């Protein structure tokens, strides 16, 4: 297979420069970029006995730049091995970037990638506009050859009035019944908001427009990026990441966000029938998730553990790497809502169990031996009989004399807040976010996962998740609890190794 000069250079660069990043300066079990910059997960798939994760990748520095596809494989979704970069912007139709996309397996055993090719077109006034088309590459799990008839979808395949400048992030899947392929692509209709377009193909190479699967109508943000669409627990689910969101109560926050639509699907007409909408993650750093179906039938989701508006939150401007993925999360629909749980393989990494039962206190408590930055910790909080309802409970972690990050819960409002204001951040970005949570009688369940530079809190068995990155020095590893009023808590904590 021929590799271009551009791809060869990227592969040589990443091999040399990954060695400059000490292992302990990366997350341990969250996939981070091999070198340079990472954004969206791409081509998340199970192929030839391994999970494949590709990602939006600029190997050359830790800022967004010429988009390549990075590549890693894993057998348990937690320990990742890097493979050489899969795609580079090396053709006339993708010279300004190989943007997000997806992967499927072809009947002959090869892997098919579909991605968005970007070209900056010069305008008469001297400016540039991005033109986006969909392109293919075929490979063996390591090397990929771009399809000779690229692009396979361009402006001629758009419904009338739809934008050729915002036409990206194809997510393909294979239909079980007849083996044909479908894909859903983010786009902007004439009203400037977002819509998801559905395309079909018999062989994965020749694609035709089917329908507008779903329309935003300027309700939830504007452009909808990085769609995914699948059946789950008897419902149909769209995951997408809207830009330019307006806050709506506790449900959606300003800027880039995530959206889960739950409903039904009229396959004949190619129309999604929406029943409800909600955020996917209620924290700060989660975007552009993609899902895979595991061989044992679980739907697992991974997102970019970042947010376009918080990318200034970093250790230093010229650090060696920037960008990590979230934990893989098993998703399900329960009571009409999206539930998420850390992938069960994580339990195999647990060791050094520390547990406290019925720890009853007010003020601060520093349980003996409770510390760590690679941690899986379950906490149940409840009020104490004979005492007034507590006013606030907080778990504080990544703590030293100077630093700490916390989750605090106020049963009176049933609001959970993440606060990384004292995590060592020196930027004027969002440090806090509040989320309404469903708790009865002041009982709250949290499962908190720490991995050096992040925290993910799974609330009430996965009914909600709040995710945030933090770059606090690793020596800050204390964990303690505080209560305004009296609470009783059960805590089980493991180190993850």
Residues of the shown chain interacting with ligand FRU in the complex, contacts defined by CB under 6 A: 39-40, 56, 67, 99-100, 116, 168-169, 225-226, 287-288
Indicate the residue among 158 and 384 with the shorter CB distance to ligand FRU: 158
Alpha-carbon torsion, ordered 452, 453, 459, 463, to 10 deg: -120
DSSP annotation of 315 = S
Is the CB of residue 452 less than 8 Å from the CB of residue 374? Answer: yes
Indicate the residue among 188 and 371 with the shorter CB distance to ligand FRU: 188
Indicate the residue among 89 and 342 with the shorter CB distance to ligand FRU: 89
Indicate the residue among 167 and 265 with the shorter CB distance to ligand FRU: 167
- 40: annotated active-site residue: yes
Indicate the residue among 116 and 324 with the shorter CB distance to ligand FRU: 116
Is the CB of residue 306 less than 8 Å from the CB of residue 288? Answer: no
368's tokens? 């003996």
Q: Which parts of 167-206 are beta strand (E)?
A: 167-174, 181-187, 195-201
Residue 228 sits at φ, ψ, to 5 deg, of: -140, 150
**Rounded distance, CA 61 to CA 465, Å?**
31
Q: Give the nearest distance from C-beta 319 to ligand FRU in angstroms.
A: 19
Pairing of strands 111-122, 98-105: antiparallel
Q: Give the nearest distance from C-beta 43 to ligand FRU in angstroms.
A: 12
Q: Which parts of 106-217 are beta strand (E)?
A: 111-122, 128-139, 144-146, 167-174, 181-187, 195-201, 207-215
Q: Which residues, in sequence order, are bridge partners of residue 391?
A: none
**Rounded distance, CA 212 to CA 191, Å?**
14
Q: Give the nearest distance from C-beta 284 to ligand FRU in angstroms.
A: 15
CB-based contacts of 364: which residues, under 8 Å, 6+ apart?
Answer: 480, 481, 482
| Cα 479 to chain centroid, rounded | 26
Indicate the residue among 76 and 309 with the shorter CB distance to ligand FRU: 309
Q: Give the nearest distance from C-beta 214 to ligand FRU in angstroms.
A: 16
Q: Give the nearest distance from C-beta 7 to ligand FRU in angstroms.
A: 17
Q: Give the nearest distance from C-beta 58 to ligand FRU in angstroms.
A: 9
Is the CB of residue 377 less than 8 Å from the CB of residue 493? Answer: yes
Q: 381 in helix, strand or coil?
A: strand
Q: Give the nearest distance from C-beta 306 to ligand FRU in angstroms.
A: 9
- Which residue in 40, 169, 285, 495 is the catalytic one? 40
Q: 7 in helix, strand or coil?
A: helix
Residue written as token pair 């190997």: 59
Indicate the residue among 169 and 495 with the shorter CB distance to ligand FRU: 169
Indicate the residue among 186 and 411 with the shorter CB distance to ligand FRU: 186
DSSP annotation of 9 = H
CB-based contacts of 16: which residues, under 8 Å, 6+ apart?
Answer: none
Please choose, from the candidates 89, 207, 97, 101, the residue with its C-alpha nearest in 3D space to the C-alpha of residue 149.
207
Dihedral-angle region of residue 241 (phi above 0 means left; psi in -120 to 50 means alpha; beta otherwise): beta
Residue 240 sits at φ, ψ, to 5 deg, of: -150, 165
Q: Give the nearest distance from C-beta 183 to ligand FRU in angstroms.
A: 14
Catalytic residues: 40
């Amino acid at each position: 297979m021929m590799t271009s000069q551009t791809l060869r250079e990227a592969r040589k660069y990443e091999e040399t420069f990954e060695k400059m990043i000490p292992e302990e300066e990366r997350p341990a079990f969250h996939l981070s970029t091999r070198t340079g910059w990472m954004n969206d997960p791409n081509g998340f798939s199970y192929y030839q006995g391994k999970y494949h994760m590709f990602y939006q990748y600029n190997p050359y520095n830790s800022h967004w730049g010429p988009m390549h596809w990075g590549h890693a494989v894993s057998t348990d979704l937690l320990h990742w091995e890097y493979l050489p970069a899969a795609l580079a912007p090396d053709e006339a139709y993708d010279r300004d970037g190989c943007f997000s996309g997806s992967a499927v397996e072809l009947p002959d055993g090869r892997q098919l990638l579909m991605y968005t090719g970007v070209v900056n077109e010069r305008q008469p006034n001297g400016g540039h506009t991005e033109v986006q088309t969909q392109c293919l590459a075929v490979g063996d799990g390591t090397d990929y050859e771009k399809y000779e008839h690229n692009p396979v979808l361009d402006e001629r395949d758009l419904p009338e009035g739809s934008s050729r400048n915002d036409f990206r992030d194809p997510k393909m899947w294979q239909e079980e019944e007849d083996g044909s392929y479908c894909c859903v692509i983010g786009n902007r209709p004439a009203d400037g908001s977002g819509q998801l377009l559905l395309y079909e193909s018999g062989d994965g190479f020749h694609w035709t427009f089917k329908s507008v699967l779903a329309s935003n109508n300027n309700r939830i943000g504007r452009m909808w990026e990085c769609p995914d669409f699948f059946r789950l627990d008897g419902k149909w689910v769209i995951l997408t990441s809207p830009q330019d969101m307006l806050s709506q109560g506790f449900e959606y926050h300003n800027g880039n966000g995530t959206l889960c639509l739950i409903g039904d699907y009229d396959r004949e007409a190619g129309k999604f029938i929406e029943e409800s909408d909600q955020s996917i993650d209620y924290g700060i750093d989660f975007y552009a998730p993609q899902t895979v179906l595991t061989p044992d039938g679980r739907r697992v989701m991974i997102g970019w553990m970042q947010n376009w508006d918080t990318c200034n939150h970093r250790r230093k401007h010229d650090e060696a790497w920037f960008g990590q993925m979230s934990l893989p999360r098993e998703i399900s629909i329960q009571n009409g809502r999206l539930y998420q749980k850390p992938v069960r393989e994580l339990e195999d990494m647990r060791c050094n169990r520390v547990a406290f039962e019925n720890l009853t206190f007010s003020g601060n408590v520093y349980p003996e031996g409770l510390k760590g930055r690679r941690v899986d910790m379950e906490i149940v909080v409840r009020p104490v009989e004979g005492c007034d309802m507590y006013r606030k409970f907080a778990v504080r972690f990544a703590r030293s004399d100077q630093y700490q990050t916390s989750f605090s819960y106020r049963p009176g409002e049933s609001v959970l807040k993440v606060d990384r204001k004292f995590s060592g951040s020196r930027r004027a970005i969002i440090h806090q976010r509040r989320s309404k949570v469903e708790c009865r009688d002041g009982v709250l369940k949290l499962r908190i996962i720490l991995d050096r530079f992040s925290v993910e809190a799974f609330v009430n068995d996965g009914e909600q998740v709040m995710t945030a990155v933090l770059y606090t020095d690793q020596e800050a590893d204390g964990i303690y609890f505080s209560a305004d009023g009296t609470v009783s808590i059960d805590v089980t904590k493991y180190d993850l190794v």
